[in-house]
Structure 1
Amino acid sequence: MCPHEPRCPSAEAPDREAARTVSAHPEQGWSLLCNGVVLFEDTGELLPSGAVIAPHRPTDVLVQSAA
Structure 2
Amino acid sequence: MCSHKPSCPTAEDTDHEAARVVSSHPEQGWSLLCNGVVLFDDTGELLPDGAVVAPHRPRVAA
- Fold match by TM threshold 0.5: yes
Unaligned runs of 5+ in 1: none
TM-score, normalised to structure 1's length?
A: 0.88
- Paired AA for residue 18 in structure 2: A
Counting aligned pairs with the same residue, the percent is 74
Residue 11 of structure 1 pairs with residue 11 of structure 2: yes
Unaligned runs of 5+ in 2: none
List aligned pairs for 1:16-27, cutoff 5 A: 16-27=16-27
Say which one has the larger Rg: 1
Q: Which runs of 4+ in 1 moved over 6 A?
A: none
Question: How many aligned residue pairs are there?
Answer: 62
Q: 1 or 2 for the larger relative contact order (CA 8 Å, sep ≥6)?
A: 2
SS of corresponding position for 1:22: strand
Alpha-carbon offset, residue 16 of structure 1: 0.2
Q: Alignment RMSD, CA only?
A: 1.1
